[in-house]
Structure 1
Amino acid sequence: MAATVTSVFLYVKDVRRSLEFYNEVVGAEVLQMHAEEDNGPLTLAILRIGQFTLMLHPQEPHAEEFADTRLGVGIHLQLQVDDVDGFHQHCIDQGALISISGEPTDQDWGWREFALRDPDGFVWSIYQDNSGGQWTG
């Protein structure tokens, strides 16, 4: 049986702030935004990065589940781009880069990558595959 990972749910402190980060910095397309009442806080934002769906939910209604954890800990996401240096500069230009690894670096396995954290501490490896397809993320 073949399976495909299609989406991830991220529980965030501020859905609108995270939506802006993923739309403006990462380039995710905003598909849907939902609030329980008109002009109320967002309760769900659905974004698309390529064929992958990112769903942002507020953490607060699930506070009990997160009582002993910190957001962003224990998950590491990857985003493949065509030009990692250009994407790194884009992040800097947007003023939203919270880098944990500094400049893009060439790795032994053929990737050129850097890591950044989103507003809630989720870590993303941003990479360009220069291995000729020998390594798939």
Structure 2
Amino acid sequence: MRATPGVSGTSPIVPVSDLTTSLAFYTQRLGFTHEVGKADDGYGLVRRGALMVAFVNAADEAALAATANNISAQMWVDDLDGYWTEIAPRLADLPEGRVRAPFDQSYGTREFHIKDPDGFLMLFTQMQGGAS
């Protein structure tokens, strides 16, 4: 019998106004690595461990408004407080409302939130007790 092919992950594809700015934000502030794509292609992908985020340049104001107002992703991490400690100094100069420091949710998760330059909301999340 043939084994079922595995699935190794998923990646949101986020419309952005400036691919170069987005790639720099994720690599320099959040510690991701730039895997593929460049501004000339209009596509880029960043990765941190198994977590990936892809971007496409979008000149469409409706797509960019959707990014800022309606798109979010919950991103599961193994050591939320350790990751926060690593990146918090690089987030300190972001505009008010772009970062929410770690906090506990009543339903059993610990989270911090970050909005990227186009307003894409990331909810970095860990199950209470360390499981993710």
Fold similarity call, TM over 0.5: yes
Counterpart in the other structure of 1:114: 112
Check 1:78–1:93 CA distance in 2 against 1; reply closer, same or farther (3 A cut).
same
**When the two structures are superposed, what TM-score results if normalisation uses the length of structure 2?**
0.73
Q: Do the aligned partners of 1:91 and 1:97 also contact (CA within 8 Å) in 2?
A: no
Deviation of the 1:110 alpha carbon: 2.1
Counterpart in the other structure of 2:55: 56
Counterpart residue identity of residue 127, structure 1: T
Give the Cα separation in 2 of the matches to 1:91 and 1:132.
19
Q: Do the aligned partners of 1:25 and 1:90 also contact (CA within 8 Å) in 2?
A: no
Deviation of the 1:28 alpha carbon: 2.0
2:31 pairs with 1:33: no
2:74 pairs with 1:78: yes
Counterpart in the other structure of 1:8: 12
Deviation of the 1:120 alpha carbon: 0.5
CA RMSD of aligned residues (A): 3.1
Deviation of the 1:55 alpha carbon: 1.6
Deviation of the 1:118 alpha carbon: 0.7
Structure 2 residue ranges without an equivalent (≥5):
none
Structure 1 residue ranges without an equivalent (≥5):
37-41
Which of 22-31 and 91-100 deviates more?
A: 91-100
Q: Percent identity?
A: 29
Counterpart in the other structure of 2:28: 24
Give the Cα separation in 2 of the matches to 1:86 and 1:68.
32
Q: Do the aligned partners of 2:109 and 2:126 also contact (CA within 8 Å) in 1?
A: yes
Equivalent residues, number: 126
Give the Cα separation in 2 of the matches to 1:106 and 1:89.
16
What per-residue deviation string (whole Å, max 9, x for no partner) do you get for residues 47-91 of structure 1? 22333432211112xx26x27934322122122223323333333
**When the two structures are superposed, what TM-score results if normalisation uses the length of structure 1?**
0.70
Deviation of the 1:93 alpha carbon: 1.0
The residue correspondences of 1:83-102 to structure 2 (distance < 5 A) are: 83-95=79-91, 97=94, 99=97, 102=100
Deviation of the 1:132 alpha carbon: 5.9
